[in-house]
Amino acid sequence: MINIAQLGQKKNESTIMKKILIVSTIQFVVLAFVLIPVQVQGSTVSVNLNQTGEPISKYIYGQFIEHLGRCIYGGIWAEMLEDRKFYYPVDGQAPAWTMYKPGMRSYDGEGHPYELLTSSPWMIIGDKKAVSMMMENSYVGEHTPRITLTGNGQPAGLLQERLGILEGEKYTGRIVLAGNLQAAPIEVSLVWGGGASDRETVTIDKIGKTYTKFPLRFAAKGSTDNGRLEIVSRGKGYFMIGTVSLMPADNILGWREDTVALLKQLNSPVYRWPGGNFVSGYNWKDGIGDPDRRPPRKNPAWKGIEHNDVGIHEFMELCSEINTEAFIAVNTGQGDAKAASEEIEYVNGDPDTPMGRLRAQNGHSQPFGVKWWAIGNEMYGNWQLGHMPLEEYMKKHNSVVDTMRQVDPTFKPIAVGARGRWSEQMLTTCADHMSLISEHLYWQDRDDVISHVTQISDRIRDVAEAHRGYRKTIASLAGKDIRIAMDEWNYWYGPNEYGELGVRYFLQDGLGIAVGLHEFFRNSDIYFMANYAQTVNVIGAIKTTKTQAEFETTGLVLKLYRECFGEIPIKVSGDFKPLDVAAALSGDRDVLTVAVVNPGGKSQPITLKLSGGELTGRWQKWTFTGPNKWSYNAPGKSPQVEITPSSFTGLLGRLEAVPLSVTLYSFFLR
Ligand code: AHR
């Protein structure tokens, strides 16, 4: 057999290409210089470059981060210490890492427990009775630990274990202390081993009655995932630890350098924040001002603690660092119109408005200029804090938007929707109070890969069709173009390997996410935004350990399409099941991209029939695949699923979609 792609390289490539394309379901066997055609099985994919759809909105590649599990704290945020503000009382007990068993069905049919800190991670060095929690003169939150010193020369204080420390890395932090003069010196040590020299100590020689902040700097000479921070005195009297922070020194304004590097590669144009269910119990004012003085609270919707180290300013700094737009959700559950309008004034108001002035005092004089605002989250669900009947909620939605508009008439409100009565009524009653309407979709696993992936396209298409229906029947939509923001979509099943909702993704999920993107492209007239939920650890496209970060299969797919797929969708026709094929032109129409998802177990030959344009013969392809449907990637382990790029000069010949793969082709056009 000869490879058609190697035939007649130069000459009139495009003419030859057309001929080859016509006969490319036929392979040739060379027998005594005679070419004998042999029919082979295969699929024909037809694309007509003149049959284009609405341009694909860049916002289809949006992301979502929530204050939940290890998405922000223990994920993107670089803080290494747990409970640095002493939400839990230090009581001399060993830290309780409670096992939670989630209700969700896992890929092997079992529920898998995950570990979560449910008491203070701080342990006591010396006499346990020497530590008490002081409510009076607390530095932050309800109470501050006070250590009473006996003066016997033995160390007394606190320690925290389980820190991930890397040899050669530098660490930076701060500690807030108060106490009597004789309590000094206070020694703060980073410890990476059991030997006397496996530690570095910062000595604070003088403390006083009022709380003072002291910088910390360490250079580790060993690696461990059970490092310690110790804070002790051998003096007399007492001292209080207001708060303490420790981060790798390469953090970027508090964000983890390795994770931020992956977010940059993901290159998403928009991030939804801070929730999710979290937002319906969130007071945004808790997240502004001196981070060390922001109160730690129980996460209102989830199991962990909200440290309030990340608030509006930190989120906006992350957006600027990774070059993305912010999409902020306001609290329409337990929150009200006043809090939402103050929030938008804080974010977008001039420095001479009351909230703009507060923002300037907190270090950012210019308005942040955030355009996209989610008006609440999933208010239709009885799990939502502040859930209320639809009739009541529609009034609340309109009043929140009206109040926010008085502050910023240009902002783009995104209303809570849910296909069916909720979306229909919201569109009927609130159409003048929304730019987009949100929908959410999550999927569990299915036994065979083909139905595992097609469930995604089926549901995305159903939602699109439902909304096209609303446009025909709802009078208030006349002359309006309220498109959908699918601002949460993903698989959600399997063991929690990375904390609360920290499920792992497999090759089969990467294929499904590719098919989901194809469906958004095919419905580009109605989908304006989609936010993959979520980004790090929590049902995340990226997973982290204490010291490493890695793309999941789904993250690789999102990155591949964002980087390589075209912007102007083209109609694809043919009978090529079980393949899912999407095609698009680049914005300048110089490149045709064709993406083929093969969820089947057999290799599929493909004949591409092209009309309305000519290929140059220069093309590239990227193949995303792995050994089997359960293949996955994990931080610190060699990847099982990879994207392999290759480039070609020459004729197309027969294309091939290998089993369990996404192949993205990019053909240069004349
Ligand atoms: O993404 C996880 C949760 O799923 C979100 O908080 C909520 O909006 C949805 O139900």
Which stretches of the chain score pLDDT less than 50? 1-40, 104-111
CB 21 within 8 A of CB 610: yes
The secondary structure of residue 230, as a DSSP letter, is: E
Give the burial string for 541-572 (b: 16+ CB within 10 Å, else e).
bbbbebbebbbbbbbbbbbbbbebbbbbbbeb
Distance in Å, CA 92 to ligand 1 centroid? 36
Q: Can you tell me which atom of ligand 1 is nearest the CA of 381?
A: 10
As given in the structure block, the two tokens for residue 316 are 């906006």
Distance in Å, CA 277 to ligand 1 centroid? 6
Distance in Å, CA 343 to ligand 1 centroid? 22
CB half-sphere exposure, 96, CA atoms < 13 A: 12
What is the sign of the dihedral through the CA atoms of 327, 331, 333 and 338?
negative
Distance in Å, CA 443 to ligand 1 centroid? 13
Q: Can you tell me which atom of ligand 1 is nearest the CA of 301?
A: 6
Per-residue HEC secondary structure of 58-110 comes to HHHHEEECCCCCCCCECCCECCCCCCCCCCCCCCCCCCCEEEECCCCCCCCCC
CB half-sphere exposure, 319, CA atoms < 13 A: 25
Instruction: Give the residue whose CA is nearest to atom 7 of ligand 1.
Output: 276
Q: Are strands 604-611 and 43-52 parallel, antiparallel or unpaired?
A: parallel
Ligand 1: residues within 6 Å at CB? 66, 275-277, 377-378, 488, 533-534, 539
Instruction: Give backbone dihedrals phi and psi of 392, rounded to 5 degrees, phi first.
Output: -70, -40
pLDDT at 496: 84
Which of 377, 438, 490, 535 to mutate to test ligand 1, by most ligand atoms within 8 A of the CB atom?
A: 377
Instruction: Give the residue whose CA is nearest to atom 4 of ligand 1.
Output: 276
Instruction: Give the residue whose CA is nearest to atom 3 of ligand 1.
Output: 276
Of 122, 497, 73, which is closest to residue 302 (Cα–Cα)?
73
CA distances from 373 to 214, 290, 330 (A): 39, 25, 7
- 219 in helix, strand or coil? strand
Q: Is 218 exposed, middle or buried (0-12, 13-18, 19+ CB in 10 A)?
A: buried
pLDDT at 59: 98
pLDDT one-digit tens code per residue, 50-60:
999 999 999 99
Q: Can you tell me which atom of ligand 1 is nearest the CA of 534?
A: 1
Distance in Å, CA 629 to ligand 1 centroid? 26
Domains of the chain: residue spans and CATH: 2-55+568-669 (2.60.40.1180), 60-76+251-563 (3.20.20.80), 118-248 (2.60.120.260)
pLDDT one-digit tens code per residue, 590-619:
999 999 999 999 999 999 999 999 999 999
Give the burial string for 240-261 (b: 16+ CB within 10 Å, else e).
bbbbbbbbbeebeebbbebbbe
**Rounded to whole angstroms, how far apart are CA atoms 508 and 490?**
13
- Edge-first strand listing for the sheet containing 186-191: 122-125, 156-165, 224-233, 186-191, 199-204
